Structure 1
Amino acid sequence: MKPYVFITRKLPEEAIKPLLEKFEVHMWEHEAISVPRDVLLEEAAKADALFTMLTEAIDEELLTAGKNLKVIANMAVGYDNVDVAAATRKGIAICNTPDVLTDATADLTFGLLMTAARRIVEAAELVKQGNWQNWSPLFLAGKDVHHKTIGIVGMGKIGETVAKRATGFDMNILYYNRTRKPEAEEKLGAVYVSFDELLSKSDYVVCLTPLTPETRGMFSREVFRKMKSSAIFVNAARGAVVDETALYEALMAVEIAGAGLDVFEREPIRADHPLLTLPNVVALPHIGSATLDARTDMMQLCAENIEAILEGRAPKTLVNREWLTRVRS
């Protein structure tokens, strides 16, 4: 029998053509509705491979149910929804989709920064609602981006690409990361600083750090108090790195000037969430990599990783390197 692949969202068949040609493939029938947990567990129990989204919890329960699982391809760079250690113990390869979405996510991140700085959403809505009645010298005046200081927290590939965008605006670039990036410093003029120094000096604090036990809730009320009162906070990483109550309180107390958010602790965010009541918050529905090109590339990379594993080859983007060592030993 052909290996069985379950895909947790409805995808264009062209993007997963190799899988359809070589394996038995079943897709959840909805594009915009998450697969129910009970269905996912049932499918995992008979699947050789899972093609998942970041909305699915790939935990011990699911991995135990998947007795035949050889690979899980997660359509995201981050894999905080996956218990990687448990998967490795069970001999299951975990793959993600780095690189192919770097530029798209960096574009969105910088666009979010500019949108929050220049009050673009406020201005667009004012026009649409028929409230543009006059003009004054400080009418919808925002903040300059050019020649200001951007502080990037999490200087991975996306962070470096955002920094590259910032050079076009003659921005001063600070960054904080677990490890220094000498090449980024040389090529982009980025300056490595402590977290506290970044907070105190940046006009724009951009969060691009992965979600880990160490980074969960790292942007607390104390952290926001260390930022300039004129600063804008941008988060295009994961919602849970931010204490959302603390962010709301900081904005209400004018401890920071505004926020641009593409991610939230719980997604989709509730329409009555306090952050959404504030005019100086730009909120997007987690669309960092949402271009047709990037999303298609992500789908194809997931398909290629599954195909490789099921055919006995090393995948292109393996998260748990220990798995490869075990397979080869």
Structure 2
Amino acid sequence: MNYNHDMKIKIIFPEEFFTKAQLQKLKKYEVEFIPGNEIDLEKIESLFSSDSYILIVNPTYLKDNWNAFPVERVQRMKGLKALCLTTSSFSWIDTNKLAEMGIIVTNIPGAPTEAVAEFNIFMMFSLLRKLPLIVKNNWNMDYNNFLNNEAVGLTAGILGLGRIGTRVGELCRGLNINVCYWNRSKKESAFKKVTLEQLFQESDIVFNTLATPPELKGFINRDLLSKLKRDSIIISTSDTQVFDEAYIIDKVSKGELGGYAFESKDKKMTDFHGNVMVFPEQAYYTLGTQTNRASIAAETALSIIEDKPIIYKVN
């Protein structure tokens, strides 16, 4: 790209997670940290100037969250040369359109692996132990209707055997849970590989850890979901648009599916009937993840400016 030293770096990610050494490297260039929560991008005039810049950003801190970068808005960001996401997910960005506009998009696939994998297991136990039902019953246990389940001996089906999916499998195996998986591409793994149909037929627990590109939205349809056992549960720390989510929620509310757990900024557990657990978007949010993300984001931005091989370019 041969960017020169006039390139600016704008960062919507807390400065506290960067080390002094990382900040020193970044501040060779003009760096602007944009602090706060619920940040309205439209109110930051510098983002719409023609001065060239790289934007390091986590949608957690934005008003529009996962909808913060529609193509129409990005087209008005005349100086934007690279969008460095501090998330592993990038399906919320039209990466192909940005590529046509000459804008690089990068992500950070490995930073939250341990945090997110552990949270998947936490979500699993919340459903097996009927936590949503207990909470919505004023924290009272109903011994006639809230029979809990043990994890030992169950079968977990993992959708997407990337870093997070693999770690979820390892944690499940440590709990004496049988593990099978489906992956879009060929993988070398000690876990049992199955077809999508087999995964939904055999699994007591389905973990969605797919990094969901736009073409996979709605990929897990009613036909596949209808193959699940009546007591099966679904866990998702990835993009829930891969599912026919309305169908899942309806099945849980009717007692035709064991439970569903996911993360949302706007939805609440009390919005739903049955064993539906809604967490805030917290799976990734640990000290280890945040410092790792800051480190990778800093190196990525510097690679772009200094015309070095770009880490984790997705378009």
The TM tier, using the shorter chain, reads 0.7 to 0.9
Opposite residue 143 of structure 1, the aligned amino acid is N
- Indicate the larger mover: 213-222 or 194-203: 213-222
- Deviation of 1:294 (Å): 0.4
- Deviation of 1:62 (Å): 4.2
8 Å CA contact 2:267–2:278 kept in 1: the answer is no
Aligned counterparts of 2:68 and 2:243: Cα–Cα separation in 1: 20
Aligned counterparts of 2:233 and 2:127: Cα–Cα separation in 1: 7
- Deviation of 1:139 (Å): 7.9
Opposite residue 71 of structure 2, the aligned amino acid is E
1:48 to 1:167, Cα distance in 2 relative to 1, 3 A: same
1:44 to 1:205, Cα distance in 2 relative to 1, 3 A: farther
Q: Which among 59, 67, 76 is matched to residue 65 of structure 1?
A: 76
Superposition TM-score, scaled by structure 1 size = 0.81
Aligned counterparts of 1:37 and 1:223: Cα–Cα separation in 2: 41
1:114-173 superposed Cα distances (whole Å, 9 cap, x missing partner): 2211224555787xx5746xx96x684311211110011111121111111111012221
Aligned counterparts of 1:118 and 1:60: Cα–Cα separation in 2: 43
Aligned to 1:37: 42
Identity level (%): 21
Matches within 5 A, 1:182-261: 182=188, 184=189, 186=190, 190-261=191-262
Aligned counterparts of 1:106 and 1:13: Cα–Cα separation in 2: 21
Matches within 5 A, 1:152-167: 152-167=158-173
Count of residues in correspondence between the two structures: 303
- Deviation of 1:52 (Å): 1.8
Q: Which among 82, 85, 106 is matched to residue 74 of structure 1?
A: 85
Superposition TM-score, scaled by structure 2 size = 0.84
Task: Give unmatched runs, 5+ long, in structure 2.
Answer: 60-64
Task: Give unmatched runs, 5+ long, in structure 1.
Answer: 321-329
8 Å CA contact 1:150–1:204 kept in 2: the answer is yes
Aligned counterparts of 2:99 and 2:139: Cα–Cα separation in 1: 57
Q: What is the root-mean-square deviation of aligned Cα atoms in Å? A: 2.8
8 Å CA contact 2:249–2:260 kept in 1: the answer is no
1:130 to 1:286, Cα distance in 2 relative to 1, 3 A: closer
Aligned to 1:103: 114
8 Å CA contact 1:18–1:307 kept in 2: the answer is no
Matched position secondary structure for 1:312: coil
8 Å CA contact 1:158–1:208 kept in 2: the answer is yes
- Deviation of 1:44 (Å): 6.1
Q: Which among 48, 53, 57 is matched to residue 48 of structure 1?
A: 53
Q: Which among 102, 105, 111 is matched to residue 94 of structure 1?
A: 105
